[in-house]
A = this chain, B = another copy of it.
Amino acid sequence: MADECDVLIIGAGPAGLMLGCWLARTGVKTRIIDRRASKITRGHADGVQCRTIEIFQSFGMADRIEKEGNELAEVVFYNPDQDGNLVPTSRIPDTEPNTSRFRHRVLNQGRIEDFLIDCMKTGGLTVERSISPLSLELSDSTTENHPVTVKVQHLIPVEEASDPSSGLYRSNILSDEEFNRSASKGGKIESIKAKYVVGCDGARSWTRNQLGFSLEGDSANIYWGVMDARPITDLPDVRVKVVLHSADSGSLLIVPREQNLVRFYIQMGTLQPGEKLDASAQSPEKIIESARKILAPYTLECPEVQWWSVYEIGQRLCKDVSFRNRVFLAGDAFHTHSPKGGQGMNVSMMDSYNLGWKLAACAKGIASPSILDTYGGERVEVARELIEFDHKVSRLFSGKPAVAESEGVSMEEFQALWIRMGKWTSGTAVKYDPSLVMTESTAAKTELAKNIIVGSHFESHMVVCYADAHAVQFADRLVADGRWRLIVFAGDLGRPNQLQRFNDFCSRLTNAHDSPIKKYTPPDADLNSVIEVLTLTSSPRKALSYSAFPELARPFVGRFRYPTYDQIFSDELSYLDGGGEAYSGYGVDPNGPGCVVIVRPDQHVADVLGFEGCVEKSGRFFDGFMMHV
C-alpha cells in the first residue's frame, strides 16, 4: 500500500525547504526527502539578497538572518593604476538606497537551511534523509487524486567519506562520484503517491532526468577557486566587499562573512575547449597562491581554511519546468550559473516561494490547477534574465583590465554593469507578466497609485498601527499564510464624504453577492480567513476612533469573537520612528478618492482598482481561478 501525500518534495536544499515552509504553514500534507544523510555545514552558497530577507520576514524569521548574517555595507573596487599598481578606485553602498527595508547579508547556507527547517517544523514538517528516488510515474487517468507515484529507497547511511573542509562547487560540472557515494547501500523500498511532485534536487537533478528535460548553455572555459578563511592581510578592506582586477594576474572577489570569515572567489586559470577540470590537482594551497599573485603587493596568510572548492564558469538553463502541471522543477534543477552574483540560492528559493502558494491552493482545492501554468511563465523568464546578466558580468570579471593604453576590459564599463546587476540581483526588480493571477498594468491604475507597479512586489513603507500606535513596516503585514490581501487606501477619513465612501465600499465588499470575500469565504469562517483587508488611512489616528471602523476592517475572529487589532493603519508621523510618508511613497493622493490594491499570497501586486466597481472587478478577477470549497 503506497503512502499518499499532497506534495512530495525531492531535495532538501534551500529551494526544497522554502517550498516545505509554504506547504507546512498552509497545512498541506507534504513529504520532503533527501538522499544525503545530513545537512551541509560549511561552504556552498552564502549571499542573502534583500528580497530573500523580505521573504524570510513573511515567515517571521528575518531577524535570524539579521542577527547572524554579516551585513554587506560597501563595495570597493580595486583596479590597476597607470603603472599597474592596485588602488581602490571607488566605494559605493552594496545595497542601493530605497531598495528594501533589509540589506544584503552573508551567512553560511547551512544556517539558512536551519532557519527554514525550524520554520517547517512549526508546521509539523521535517526532512526525511537518506532516501533516494528510484522511479517516477504519472498516471494518465484524469480522475485519480494522487496521480504521481515515486518509488524511493531508504538508504542505510554510510559514513560520509568526504572531508568537509573541501568540496567542488555543487552547482557545477565534474564527477558524480561523490554525489553517488552515499547511495551505495540500499535499504527498504517504498512507494509514495502524490498529487504533485517537485524536484528541488539541484544541478544534477534526478527529477529533471526522469522527465527527459536537460540543461542547455555553455561554459567560458575559465575556472575559479572559492574558499572560506579568516585572512591575515594588510589589504585594509577585507571586511567589505572587494571587486578586484589585477593588471596581469587575474581577478578576485572578497565577500566578508559572519564570524570574521571571508569568502574569496579567485580567478585561477583557463581550460582548452573540451578540456575537463582536473579535480584531483586542486588544493587550498593552489588557491591561496593564485590569490597572492592577484593581491600583490598586499600580503595574505590564511592559517585556517574552513572550506574550499574550484568551479568552471558557465550558465545553463532548462526551459521546461513542469510536466503536465503535476511534476515541477525548482532552483538549480533548472538554472545554474556562476556563484559570484550570490544568486543561485536566492533565485532558487524565489522559485519555490512562487510555486508554494499556488500548489497549496490547488492541493486544498481552493484554486483551479490552471494557476500552475503561471509558475513556469513567471520563473523561467527570471532565470533567463539572470543568466544573461551573469554571462556578461562573469566574462568581464575574468577579463584582463585595460591599463593605460593597453587593450582590455574597461573598468568603468565593468563597474557600471556591476551596479546595474546589483539592482537586479537584490531580487526586488522582479516583475511578473499578466496571467490568470496577474492583471495588466494600465495608465488608469498608475494614476491611482503612481509607485505601485502591477506585477512587482508590494513595497514597504513605515505606517502607524491604529490600535497600538506602533510604527510598523507595512509589508511586514503580508504574512506568508496563503491569504490574498486587499489593501485599502482609505484616504482622509476625517472628511465626512470620504468616510461615507469608505463605509459604503466596506459594506458592499462585506455583503454584495458578487464580492470575492462574500463568495469565497466559507459561511462559518472568519471574515479575514481567505482574503484579508488591510486599511491605510491618510488621516491621523485621532481623526476617527478605532471602534468607529466597520467590522470588515477589524473583524471579530475565533471561538470567542475576539477583536483584531492589526488590520488598520494610518499614514502619520509615529512618536519615535518616522512615518507619515507612505501615501507619497506609494504615490497615492492622501486627499484623493483612495484605491484598492490586490496583493497575492507571495506579495506581488495583482491589480489596482478604484472604490467604484472594485467589488465587481475584483470579483471577476478571483472568479478566474478561485474555487468554492
Residues of A within 8 A of B (CB): 63, 67, 70-71, 73-74, 91, 93, 95, 97, 103, 230, 232, 234-240, 256, 260, 303-304, 467-471, 542, 545-548, 560-563, 565, 574-576
Contacts and interface: CB of A to CB of B under 8 A. Distances in A.
B575 A73 contact: yes
A73 B469 contact: yes
A555 to B, nearest CB: 13
B468 A240 contact: yes
B232 A470 contact: no
Contacts of A575: 73-74, 93, 95, 97
A546 B63 contact: no
Contacts of A232: 560-563
Contact of A91 (B230, B542, B563): B542
Contacts of A73: 468-471, 574-576
Nearest to A76: B469
Contacts of A469: 73-74, 240
Indicate how many identical chains form the complex: 2
Query: Could you say which of A304, A470, A574 has the most chain B C-beta atoms within 10 Å of its C-beta?
Result: A470
Contacts of A467: 238-240
A563 B63 CA distance: 28
A34 to B, nearest CB: 30
A533 to B, nearest CB: 18
Given A71-B468, A74-B575, A256-B468, 13 more contacts: A63-B63, A71-B470, A73-B468, A73-B471, A73-B574, A91-B542, A93-B575, A232-B560, A232-B561, A236-B545, A239-B467, A239-B565, A260-B565
B546 A95 contact: no
Contacts of A67: 63
Contacts of A471: 73
8 contacts: A63-B63, A70-B468, A71-B468, A73-B468, A74-B469, A95-B575, A103-B576, A230-B560
A576 B96 CA distance: 8
Contacts of A93: 575-576
Nearest to A99: B576
Nearest to A233: B563
A546 B237 contact: yes
A92 to B, nearest CB: 8
A562 B260 CA distance: 9
A568 B70 CA distance: 17
Contacts of A303: 560, 562
Contacts of A542: 91
A230 B562 contact: yes
A238 B467 CA distance: 8
A234 B547 contact: yes
Nearest to A303: B560
Contacts of A239: 467-468, 565
The 9 closest A-B pairs by CB, nearest first: A93-B575, A73-B469, A239-B468, A74-B469, A236-B546, A239-B467, A303-B560, A236-B547, A236-B545
A5 to B, nearest CB: 32
A229 to B, nearest CB: 11
Contacts of A91: 542
Q: Quick one: which of A234, A468, A542 has the most chain B CB within 10 A? A: A468
Contacts of A256: 468
Nearest to A97: B576
A277 to B, nearest CB: 31
Q: Which of A237, A256, A542 has the most CB of B within 10 A?
A: A237
A580 to B, nearest CB: 15
A479 B239 CA distance: 21
Nearest to A575: B93
A576 B95 contact: yes
Nearest to A75: B469
A542 B236 CA distance: 11
A195 to B, nearest CB: 35
Contacts of A565: 239, 260
A121 B561 CA distance: 41
Contacts of A234: 547
A578 to B, nearest CB: 11
A232 B470 CA distance: 21
Nearest to A561: B232
Contacts of A574: 73
Nearest to A563: B232
A563 to B, nearest CB: 7
Contacts of A547: 234-236
A252 to B, nearest CB: 18
Contacts of A237: 546
Nearest to A304: B560
Contacts of A236: 545-548
A63 B66 CA distance: 10
Contacts of A560: 230, 232, 303-304
A234 B554 CA distance: 13
A208 to B, nearest CB: 40
A63 B63 CA distance: 8
Most chain-B Cβ atoms within 10 A of its Cβ — which of A234, A235, A304, A467? A467
A287 B547 CA distance: 24
Contacts of A103: 576
A612 B237 CA distance: 32
Contacts of A70: 468
Nearest to A103: B576
A605 B304 CA distance: 39
A418 B576 CA distance: 19
A256 B468 CA distance: 8
A149 B576 CA distance: 51
Contacts of A470: 71, 73
A560 B545 CA distance: 63
A467 B238 CA distance: 8
